[in-house]
Amino acid sequence: MSDSNDGVSLGQKMMDNIFFLLAIGIAFPGIFYFAWGLLEIFLFNNKQLSDYLIQTGQFGGK
Amino acid sequence: MPLETPEKWYKPFNREERIWMAIILVWGFIMFLMMPLGHLGKQNVSSETYKTTPDEFRKTADKFIEKYQVRDKDGKRVFRKGIAVVEAPEKEKGDAFLVARSWQYYPILVLRKNKTYRIHMSSLDLQHGFSLQPQNLNFQLLPYYDFVITMSPTETGTSYLICNEYCGYVSKVQAHDTMIGQIIVKE
Amino acid sequence: MSDNKEKMHAPGSLVLALIFLAWFALVYFTQWIALMKNWVVY
Amino acid sequence: MSATDFSDQFRTCQTTGLKVHRPAQRLIWINAVSAVVFLLIGGVMAILIALTKWQAIHLLEQDLFYRFVTAHGTNMLVFWIVFFEMAGLIFGSAVVLGSRFPGIAFGWFNWGLMITGAVMVNVMMFTGKADVMFTAYPPLKAHPLFYLGIILFAVGALLYCFQFLYALVIAKKEGWHKGSLPLFTFGLLTAAIIAIWTLLSGAIAFVPTFLWSLPKTIIPDGSFLRINQVDPEFFRIAFWGFGHSAQQINLAATVAIWYLLAHLTTGAKPVNQKMCRIAFVLYLLGINLGSVHHNLVDPGLSATYRIFNTSYLFYAAVIGSLIHAFSLPAAVETAQRSKGLTRGLFEWLTKAPWSHPGFSGFALSFVIFGFLGGVTGVILSVEQLNMVSHNTLRVPGHFHMTVVGGTTLAFMALTYYVIPLVLQRKLIGEKLAVYQTYIFAVGITIVSAGMTFAGIMGAPRRHYDIEMSNAVFQFPYATAIKPMLSLVGIGAIIAATGLFIFIGIAVLSVFFGEKIEPKVEKHVPPHAAGAA
């Protein structure tokens, strides 16, 4: 932005960039907590109880 | 100072900062490792879940009660305070079912000490909190989710199931704080 | 870096922080030991 | 727009020399006053609930107890905290940077949204149409206006957060401020980013729930807006992205306020800015993953997901907190030592300004938040240990240490500075303010200790009657549980005394305190292009 940035290290520049911070602050929980969580409950653990009962032969399957 | 900033502040750590950073990195790593290592132990949260519906789960639980309900000398079905008492099958012989609904847990399961049981739990209406006392084991029960917990009691006696997730209030005796069930452990 | 810069600036705080960490670890592992006495669940 | 248009809207603070944008000052005033109103409502609820938990008194009836727990939780955890934080965001951007606050009318509009939402929610709760607790887990259904109120409030707060970001951009662009943000503002920036995530999650949780709660007369069957069922685990994941992250805003804001208070009271400067800022960035990376604490014993989730998220990204966020745990006292120690308090290890600490509400509030909230709240929090969030603590009184025990003993106490201490410096009124009862911080700290520590130990013995949270006297079976709890619950009641009386002293001081000072005449001075952007 301004011309006085010369010699300022990359780490400082990154932490001065509020939009970079905003991006990681939304991306990390958005991906790891929220998106992964939805995959868990809607895709990875999606077996029906009735299918399980048929498989194990309990209570006539239903 | 917090209100003023030097132009360049990205500087190396000093000695005590390095010491402290090293210590807390190690401590964080230890705490992280404890959880995977804990899975070698005997107390872990189950990940086994099936999708269900309140209707399906209730019917399955009724069949389970029908099959395994305890009978007295005359062959009559045993109830305690109106709740069926059921001798749960061991893990190898089949699964046990436990229903949570406002404001009751049923049936009353009879378990044997040091035997292992697979217990399916779900709710028929609202969210409920499975809280086994005095062992103080707590799980969350949701409608549409069948949560399978494998457990093995290590002591005999009567344990109580209370609900620790708020599940509504209708009257003095029909309220979240009246929701209670039992688990009986025999030798 | 010179020796002067490497001396402790805030030894008291480091001691306080270490006391805190010791308390943290004590409580943490006490809870694990307490859990091991419970029913077997998995 | 030319920045010089705003030059006559500023005053200069006589104590600190800060340039205060006066329209922004009025926004701070309205948000802070709104916050205290909800704090008062929540405080009255607190004492009624605690006296019900105290089994020997058992004050309220069942239905009122659950209603007031709902009102207490929502008013304290959301309305008091978020209104105060919005005041803090305006303070941290416009006042600290000596900048104008862009969009004053927009700011008032946002406040209007928030207050409308908050009032709607309160009306619904107190008329008994939303006895669903703060968490409002479906299928438990509240009145649609309850959900709508929360959505309005969240939208208002979200717009404030974006406005805060815009204010930071404007400050730099128009040349009000140059270089890196001050550490205090940087901390508030992380809080605002966490808040944006929080409020987005809140929208994801509550918009479908609001549609689901609407009767079929408004949204008929077959309409694409008709939602017949909200998946309970979906709601729990989305809700805790809101409910717990809202408390992580407090964490970041509280730490930022500690740095400010430490500076104002002892002249402390962060020893290493890089270390402090990295700690805040670690919050951004890891802290919101911790929302999964509430779902650790839920069905439908795998152990990998649980462990990864509950560890806040390999404990990155805990390491952030542990950095602050060292760098904050180190900053105070360095400042004190440079004043000649060098004897032994701890002379700097024993001779600290303990009779100063700013310092005592900072130090007490630091200890309660860190030593007690932080430690219990990390332990509750271990996957396996959560089984023996989920939904027991240990959980409220933990967050009364963090949100009440930590954040609220820090906010109180800050208020004692904000009133003279920003709101330009002399404090009434300054001496009482010192005692207030100690009374409040002692009270809330007793409350939390009582809750924690009762929870260890198995006492459930949000439960009316530990004796289960209306149930078919009576479970004989450990006898030690009742003394612990009476500690909750006793502690609550002490803490509420402290709370009401605070509210008394704040309200009297803000409305009747001696006015400090503003020193109106022209202020132009000192770093604007072309400026001298």
> B180 vs D137: CB contact, 8 Å cut-off?
no
Is there contact between D and A if contact means ≥3 C-beta pairs under 8 Å?
yes
- Reading phi first (left if > 0) and then psi (alpha if -120 to 50, else beta), residue B29 is in alpha
Position D179 scores a pLDDT of: 87
The reply to whether B41 touches chain C by the CB within 8 Å rule is: yes
- Name the closest residue on chain A to residue D284, using Cα atoms: A25
> D345 vs C12: CB contact, 8 Å cut-off?
yes
> B10 vs A46: CB contact, 8 Å cut-off?
no
Q: Which of the 8 DSSP states describes residue D103?
A: -
Average pLDDT over residues D83-105: 94
Angle subtended by helix axes D183-213 and D273-286, to nearest 10: 10
For chain A, what's the residue count? 62
Non-local CB neighbours of B62 within 8 Å, separated by 6+ positions:
none
Instruction: State the pLDDT confidence band at B11, using cuts at 50, 70 and 90.
Output: confident
Residue D38 vs residue D13, higher pLDDT: D38
> D330 vs C23: CB contact, 8 Å cut-off?
no
Q: Is residue A61 part of a domain?
A: no
- Name the closest residue on chain C to residue B26, using Cα atoms: C21
Least Cα separation, residue D332 to chain C (angstroms): 9
Mean pLDDT of all residues belonging to chain B: 93
pLDDT in tens, C1-36: 344 445 667 899 999 999 999 999 999 999 999 999
Instruction: State the pLDDT confidence band at A5, using cuts at 50, 70 and 90.
Output: low
Report the CATH fold assignment for B47-186: Immunoglobulin-like (2.60.40)
pLDDT in tens, D230-287: 999 999 999 999 999 999 999 999 999 999 999 999 999 988 999 999 999 999 999 9
Chain C positions touching D346 (Cβ under 8 A) are 12
Is there contact between D and B if contact means ≥3 C-beta pairs under 8 Å?
yes
- Name the closest residue on chain B to residue C5, using Cα atoms: B14
Burial class (CB in 10 A: 0-12, 13-18, 19+), D180: buried
The parent domain of residue A43 ranges over: 10-55
Chain D positions touching C10 (Cβ under 8 A) are 271, 329-330, 333-334, 337
Average pLDDT over residues D135-156: 95
CA distance B144 to B140: 12
Least Cα separation, residue D484 to chain B (angstroms): 16
The reply to whether A56 touches chain D by the CB within 8 Å rule is: no
Average pLDDT over residues D25-49: 95
CA distance D203 to D227: 16
At D100, phi and psi to the nearest 5?
Answer: -80, 155
Chain B positions touching C13 (Cβ under 8 A) are 16
Chain B positions touching D315 (Cβ under 8 A) are 28-29, 31-32
> D392 vs B41: CB contact, 8 Å cut-off?
no
CB-closest option in D325, D334, D388 to C17: D325
Q: Which of the 8 DSSP states describes residue D60?
A: S
Position D346 scores a pLDDT of: 92
- Only one residue has tokens 């802290």, namely D287
pLDDT in tens, B15-62: 889 999 999 999 999 999 999 999 999 999 999 999 999 999 999 999
The DSSP secondary structure of B50-119, one letter per residue, reads EE--HHHHHHHHHHHHHHHB-B-TTSPBPEETTEEEEEPPPTTT--EEEEEETTEEESEEEEETT--EEE
- Tokens for D243, please give them: 């409910």
At B180, phi and psi to the nearest 5?
Answer: -155, 150
Find the angle CA(B28)-CA(B29)-CA(B32) to the nearest 5 degrees: 85
Position D530 scores a pLDDT of: 60
At D298, phi and psi to the nearest 5?
Answer: -90, 155
Q: Is residue A25 part of a domain?
A: yes
The reply to whether D334 touches chain C by the CB within 8 Å rule is: yes
So where are chain C's domains? Answer: 12-42
Q: Which of the 8 DSSP states describes residue D514?
A: P
Amino acid identity, position A39: L
- Name the closest residue on chain B to residue A56, using Cα atoms: B94
So where are chain B's domains? Answer: 47-186
pLDDT in tens, D314-332: 999 999 999 999 999 999 9
So where are chain D's domains? Answer: 354-467+475-515
Amino acid identity, position D263: H
Neighbours of chain B (3+ CB pairs under 8 A): A, C, D
Cβ-contact A61, D233 below 8 angstroms? no
Instruction: State the pLDDT confidence band at D3, using cuts at 50, 70 and 90.
Output: very low
Position D531 scores a pLDDT of: 52
The reply to whether B49 touches chain D by the CB within 8 Å rule is: yes
CB contacts under 8 A, D 245-304 vs C, are: 271
Neighbours of chain C (3+ CB pairs under 8 A): B, D
Count of domains forming chain A? 1
Chain B positions touching D458 (Cβ under 8 A) are 131, 133-134, 136
Non-local CB neighbours of D485 within 8 Å, separated by 6+ positions:
D53, D54, D55, D450, D454, D459, D466
> D325 vs C27: CB contact, 8 Å cut-off?
no
- Tokens for D482, please give them: 């009742």
CA distance D164 to A6: 27
H helix count then E strand count, chain D: 18, 3
CA distance D166 to D158: 13
Amino acid identity, position B167: C
pLDDT in tens, D411-467: 999 999 999 988 899 999 888 999 999 999 999 999 999 999 999 999 999 999 888
The reply to whether B29 touches chain C by the CB within 8 Å rule is: no
Is it the case that residue B100 has pLDDT exceeding 90?
yes
CA distance D413 to D353: 13
Chain C positions touching B43 (Cβ under 8 A) are 35-36, 38-42
Is it the case that residue D81 has pLDDT exceeding 90?
yes
> B81 vs D472: CB contact, 8 Å cut-off?
yes
The DSSP secondary structure of D136-150, one letter per residue, reads --TTS---HHHHHHH
Non-local CB neighbours of B118 within 8 Å, separated by 6+ positions:
B91, B95, B96, B148, B149, B150
CA distance D503 to D346: 34
> B59 vs A60: CB contact, 8 Å cut-off?
no
pLDDT in tens, B145-162: 999 999 999 999 999 999
Is there contact between A and C if contact means ≥3 C-beta pairs under 8 Å?
no
Is it the case that residue B5 has pLDDT exceeding 90?
no
> C38 vs B14: CB contact, 8 Å cut-off?
no
Cα B80 to Cα B59, D218, D445, D472: the distances in Å are: 21, 46, 43, 10
Least Cα separation, residue D382 to chain C (angstroms): 9
- Please give the interface size between C and D, counted as residue pairs whose CB atoms are below 8 Å apart: 60
Bridging pattern class, strands B145-152 and B174-175 = unpaired
Position C3 scores a pLDDT of: 45
Q: What does R_g of chain A's alpha carbons equal in angstroms? A: 25
pLDDT in tens, D374-417: 999 999 999 999 999 999 999 999 999 999 999 999 999 999 99
Position A62 scores a pLDDT of: 45
Q: Which residues of D296-331 are buried (b: 16+ CB within 10 A; e: fewer)?
A: bbbbbbbbebbbbbbbbbbbbbbbbbbbbbbbbbbb
pLDDT in tens, A19-39: 999 999 999 999 999 999 999
